[in-house]
C-alpha cells in the first residue's frame, strides 16, 4: 500500500492530473469515506421519524440543487423552471409506475430521462441566443408545464393527483422513512460523484468556458449550442430524478407544489450554498429545507396558541420574504455562499495558530 | 357580435396596460441590460401606495397621484442604491438573480401587510367619461386608464427624445464606455433609470387598480407577463413593447373568452416559446451581430 499523502507545505503540482484531482490529499478522501459510512450506518437508527423525513427531503432537494448548479453555476444559464422539471419527473415516475407497472429503479431513472427531454424541448429555442434567453424560456416552461399538469386530466389526473404503489427494490419494501433514507443518500452520493467528475471532464470544462466568455469559447472550437443544450438536459435530468424519488417518497402527488415559488427556492439553495460548487448545493439544500421547516413550525406554533391564530395566517407569506432576503443578502455580502464560509473555516483550522 | 366587441375592448385595454408596464421593463433593460424579475412587485407597490393614500388617508386624488409617483421615484433610487449598486462589476447573472430575490422579498412583505384580498379604489371618476356607442359600452375606468396611459406614454416619449437626461440614458444604452468618455455620469443614469422605471410601474399599477381593483398575486403575475410582451416586441424596443402588449392582451382575452379561461392565462407563454423559435429578436428588436 502506498503512503497516505497529507497536505504539503507548498505547491508541488507537476502534472495536470494533480491539478484536477478531486482530493488534493488522501486526508480528504479518507474523511469522505468515513463520513459516508458514519452517515449511512448511524443516522437512520438515531433519528426519529420526523427528523428522518427532514433529512430525506434534504437529500432529494440536494440532488435537484446539484442539477441546477451545473446549469447556473457552471454554464452560466439561469433556469426559472426547475420546479416544473422536478414536477415532470415526479409525474413521469407516478404515471410509469401506475399505468405501465414499471419497477421503482426503472421508473425513477426514466423520470430523469423524460424530464431531460422535456427540458431540452424548452431549451432548443433559447440556447441559440445570447443574453440569458434561456431564463425567459424556462419561465414560459414553468407556466406551460403547470398548466399541463393541472389540465391534462387523462394523463395526470388533474388536481386530484396520483397515488403511487409502494416502492420496492430487489424485492424489499423500501417505502418507510428509514429504508428510504439509504436509497436517497446512496443516490445523492452517486449523483455527487457523477457531477464532480462531469465538471472535470471535457464537458465540464466546456461549460465553464461558455460561462466565462461564450464568444471566446466558440472561437476555441466549442459548439456552444450543443453544450448549452447538453448542460440544460443534464440539469433537467437531475431535477427529474429527484422528482421521481420525491414522488415515491410522498406516495401521492398533486400539481400544487411545483410552482414558480419552488423554482425560486432552488435558486436560493444554490446561491446560499455557493454557485459553481457541488458541496455548496448540498449546504444550500440543508439551509433552505431547515429554514423552511423552522418557519412552518413557528407558524404552526403561533396558530396553536389560539389568541394569535389570526396573525398566523398573515405570517405565512413571510416565508417568501425570508427566502428573498436570504438570496439578496448572500448575493451582496457572500456571493460565493456557504461553501466559501466552510472553506474559510476549514483553512483557519488548518493554519492554526499561524494564520498567515 | 356583442361578445366579440366586448372582448375586443377588454383585450385592447389589457394590452394597453401590458404595453405600459413593459415600458418600464424595457427601460431598465436598455440602460443596464438587466432582466428585472421584480417588475410585478414594483407595480404592486405603486398600486398599494395609491390605495393607502386614497382609501385610508383620504388625500385628494390629484395629490395622491403626485405623492405616489414621487414616492416610487424615491423608492427606485433606494433600490438601486441599496441592492444594485454593490453588485456593479459582478456578472450579469448575479444581478438578475438579485432581482428574483427582490421579487420574492417584496411579494412576501406585501402579502404580509395587505393579505391576498382584493381591494378597490374609492370611485372618483366622473360617470360622464363612460362611452356608450350603440350596443357597446366602455366603462369610465377603461376610458380614464386609456387617457392616463396615453398621457404618460407621450410624456416618456418626449423625455427620451428631447430632455438631456433622456439623451444621456439613450447614450448609455447605446454604448456604455463611449458615453462614459463623453462625460455622462453612468452611475447616475443607472439610478435614474431605476427611479423612472419605478414611476412607470406605479402609473401602470394605478391604472390597473382603477380597472380591476388591486391584488398582490394578480399584479405580480402581470409583472411576469411582461416577458412574453417584450420578447414579442423585441427586448430593446419601446415601440415594440407597445405593439407586443396590445397583441398579447388581445390574444389572451380572445383565448380566455372563446376557449377557456385557464388557457388564456398560459397562451402568452406558449406564444413566447414560438416567438423564440421563429423570430428570436422579436418584431422590432435589434439583431445583435458580434464579431471577435
**If you write DSSP's letter for every residue of A35-75 in order, what string do you get?**
HHHHHHHHHHHHS-HHHHHHHHHHHHHHHHHHHHHIIIIIT
Q: For residue B57, what is the DSSP state?
A: S
Could you tell me if B267 and B252 are in contact, meaning their C-beta atoms sit under 8 angstroms apart?
yes
Contact yes or no for B292 and A215 at CB 8 A: yes
Residue A68 has what pLDDT? Answer: 93
C-alpha cell at A119: 427540458
Q: Which residues of B touch A267 (CB under 8 A)?
A: 97, 100
Q: How much is the mean pLDDT over chain B?
A: 82
Distance (Å, rounded) from C-alpha B150 to C-alpha B156? 10
Asked if B259 is an interface residue toward chain A (Cβ–Cβ < 8 A), one would say no
Structural domain boundaries in chain A? 48-165+172-351
- Listed residue (B231, B216, B225) closest to B264, CA to CA: B225
Distance CA B251, CA B235 (A): 19
Cβ-contact A348, B139 below 8 angstroms = no
Please say whether the beta carbons of A265 and A136 come within 8 A. Answer: no
B143 pLDDT higher than 90: no
pLDDT tens per residue across span A10-30: 777 788 877 777 777 777 788
Interchain contact, B102 vs A324, CB within 8 Å: yes
Indicate yes or no: CB of A144 within 8 angstroms of CB of B106: no
**DSSP state letter for B233:** H
pLDDT at B206 over 60: yes
Rg (CA), chain B: 19
User: What was the pLDDT predicted at A314?
Assistant: 61
Q: How far is CA A137 from CA A50, A92, A114, A180, B271, in A?
A: 38, 22, 18, 35, 11
> Which range has the top average pLDDT, A53-67, A160-174, B244-258?
A53-67
| pLDDT exceeds cutoff 70 at A310 | no
Mean pLDDT of B263-284: 83
- Looking at residue A112, its pLDDT comes to 93
Q: Which of residues 64-123 of B touch A (CB under 8 A)?
A: 83, 86-87, 90-94, 96-98, 100-109, 111-112, 115
Q: What is the mean pLDDT of residues A40-52?
A: 84
Among the partner-chain residues A146, A147, A317, the one whose CB lies closest to the CB of B111 is A317
CATH code 1.10.20 for A48-165+172-351: no
Size of interface A-B (CB pairs under 8 A): 140
Residue A72 contacts B, CB cutoff 8 Å: yes
| Partner B contacted by A196 (CB < 8 A) | no
**pLDDT band at residue B19 using 50, 70 and 90 as cut-offs:** confident
Is the pLDDT at B131 greater than 80, yes or no?
no
Q: How many Cα atoms are found within 13 Å in the side-chain-facing hemisphere of A100?
A: 14
Determine what percent of chain B is predicted with pLDDT higher than 70: 93
Residue A225 to residue A233: CA distance in whole angstroms: 12
- Return the pLDDT at A77: 86
Residue B214 phi, psi (nearest 5): -110, 145
In which band, very low, low, confident or very high, does the pLDDT at A275 lie, cut at 50, 70 and 90?
A: confident
pLDDT digits (tens, 9 = 90+) for A238-267: 999 999 999 988 888 888 888 888 888 898
**Cell reading at B108:** 412576501
Using CA coordinates, name the residue in chain B closest to A216.
B292
Write phi, then psi, for B119 (nearest 5 degrees). -125, 150
Q: Is the pLDDT of residue A313 over 80?
A: no
pLDDT band per the 50, 70, 90 thresholds, residue A2: low
Which residues is A252 bridged to in the sheet?
A: A163
Closest CA to A288 of A325, A239, A336: A325
Instruction: Tell me how far apart the alpha carbons of residues A63 and A167 are, in angstroms, rounded to a whole number.
Output: 19
H-type alpha helices, A25-166: 26-46, 49-69, 82-99, 104-127, 133-151, 153-156
Q: Count CB-CB contacts under 10 A for residue B39.
A: 29
Is residue A141's pLDDT more than 80? Answer: yes
CB distance B107–A150 less than 8 Å?
no
CB contact under 8 A, B270 and A318: no
Is B33 an 8 Å CB contact of chain A? Answer: yes
Q: Taking Cα atoms as reference points, which of B191, B176, B180 lies closest to residue B83?
A: B191
Q: Is the peptide bond before A353 cis (omega within 30 degrees of 0)?
A: yes
Amino acid at each position: 500500500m502506498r503512503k497516505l499523502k497529507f497536505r504539503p507545505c507548498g505547491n508541488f503540482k507537476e502534472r495536470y492530473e494533480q491539478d484536477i484531482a478531486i482530493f488534493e490529499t488522501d486526508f480528504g478522501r479518507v474523511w469522505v469515506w468515513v463520513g459516508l459510512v458514519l452517515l449511512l450506518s448511524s443516522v437512520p437508527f438515531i433519528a426519529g421519524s420526523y427528523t428522518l423525513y427532514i433529512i430525506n427531503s434534504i437529500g432529494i432537494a440536494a440532488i435537484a440543487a446539484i442539477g441546477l448548479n451545473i446549469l447556473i453555476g457552471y454554464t452560466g444559464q439561469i433556469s426559472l423552471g426547475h420546479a416544473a422539471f422536478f414536477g415532470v419527473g415526479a409525474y413521469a415516475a407516478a404515471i410509469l409506475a401506475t399505468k405501465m407497472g414499471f419497477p421503482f429503479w426503472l421508473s425513477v431513472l426514466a423520470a430523469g430521462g423524460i424530464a431531460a427531454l422535456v427540458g431540452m424541448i424548452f431549451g432548443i429555442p433559447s440556447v441559440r441566443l445570447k443574453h440569458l434567453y434561456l431564463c425567459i424560456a424556462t419561465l414560459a416552461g414553468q407556466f406551460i408545464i403547470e398548466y399541463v399538469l393541472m389540465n391534462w386530466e387523462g394523463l395526470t389526473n388533474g388536481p386530484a393527483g396520483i397515488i403511487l404503489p409502494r416502492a420496492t427494490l430487489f424485492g424489499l419494501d423500501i417505502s418507510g422513512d428509514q429504508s428510504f433514507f439509504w436509497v436517497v443518500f446512496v443516490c445523492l452520493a452517486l449523483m455527487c460523484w457523477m457531477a464532480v467528475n462531469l465538471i472535470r471532464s471535457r464537458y465540464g470544462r466546456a461549460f465553464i468556458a461558455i460561462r466565462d466568455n461564450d464568444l471566446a469559447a466558440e472561437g476555441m472550437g466549442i459548439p456552444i449550442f450543443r453544450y448549452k443544450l447538453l448542460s440544460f438536459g443534464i440539469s433537467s435530468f437531475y431535477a427529474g430524478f429527484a422528482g421521481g424519488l420525491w414522488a415515491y417518497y410522498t406516495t401521492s402527488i398533486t400539481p400544487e407544489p411545483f410552482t414558480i415559488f419552488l423554482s425560486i427556492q432552488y435558486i436560493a439553495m444554490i446561491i446560499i450554498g455557493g454557485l459553481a460548487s457541488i458541496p455548496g448545493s448540498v449546504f444550500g439544500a440543508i439551509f433552505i429545507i431547515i429554514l423552511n421547516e423552522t418557519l412552518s413550525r413557528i407558524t404552526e406554533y403561533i396558530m396553536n396558541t389560539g389568541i394569535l391564530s389570526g396573525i398566523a395566517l398573515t405570517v405565512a407569506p413571510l416565508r417568501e420574504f425570508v427566502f428573498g432576503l436570504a438570496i439578496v443578502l448572500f448575493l451582496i455580502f457572500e456571493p460565493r455562499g456557504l461553501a466559501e464560509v466552510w472553506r474559510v473555516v476549514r483553512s483557519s483550522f488548518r493554519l492554526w495558530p499561524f494564520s498567515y | 357580435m356583442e361578445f366579440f366587441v366586448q372582448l375586443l375592448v377588454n383585450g385592447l385595454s389589457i394590452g394597453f396596460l401590458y404595453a405600459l408596464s413593459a415600458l418600464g421593463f424595457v427601460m431598465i433593460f436598455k440602460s443596464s441590460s438587466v432582466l428585472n424579475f421584480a417588475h410585478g412587485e414594483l407595480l404592486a407597490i405603486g398600486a398599494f401606495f395609491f390605495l393607502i393614500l386614497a382609501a385610508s388617508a383620504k388625500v385628494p386624488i390629484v395629490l395622491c397621484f403626485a405623492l405616489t409617483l414621487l414616492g416610487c421615484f424615491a423608492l427606485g433610487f433606494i433600490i438601486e442604491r441599496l441592492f444594485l449598486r454593490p453588485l456593479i462589476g459582478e456578472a450579469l447573472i448575479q444581478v438578475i438573480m438579485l432581482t428574483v430575490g427582490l421579487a420574492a422579498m417584496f411579494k412576501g412583505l406585501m402579502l404580509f401587510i395587505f393579505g391576498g384580498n382584493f381591494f378597490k379604489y374609492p370611485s372618483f371618476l366622473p360617470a360622464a367619461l363612460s362611452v356608450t356607442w350603440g350596443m357597446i359600452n366602455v366603462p369610465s375606468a377603461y376610458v380614464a386608464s386609456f387617457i392616463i396611459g396615453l398621457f404618460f406614454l407621450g410624456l416618456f416619449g418626449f423625455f427620451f427624445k428631447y430632455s438631456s437626461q433622456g439623451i444621456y440614458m439613450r447614450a448609455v444604452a447605446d454604448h456604455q464606455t463611449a458615453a462614459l468618455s463623453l462625460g455622462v455620469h453612468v452611475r447616475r443614469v443607472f439610478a435614474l433609470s431605476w427611479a423612472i422605471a419605478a414611476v412607470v410601474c406605479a402609473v401602470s399599477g394605478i391604472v390597473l387598480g382603477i380597472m380591476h381593483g388591486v391584488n398582490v398575486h394578480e399584479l405580480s403575475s402581470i409583472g411576469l407577463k411582461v416577458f412574453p410582451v417584450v420578447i414579442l416586441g423585441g427586448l430593446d424596443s419601446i415601440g415594440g413593447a407597445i405593439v407586443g402588449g396590445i397583441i398579447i392582451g388581445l390574444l389572451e382575452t380572445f383565448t380566455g373568452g372563446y376557449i377557456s379561461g385557464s388557457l388564456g392565462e398560459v397562451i402568452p407563454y406558449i406564444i413566447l416559446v414560438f416567438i423564440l423559435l421563429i423570430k428570436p429578436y422579436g418584431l422590432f428588436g435589434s439583431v445583435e451581430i458580434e464579431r471577435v
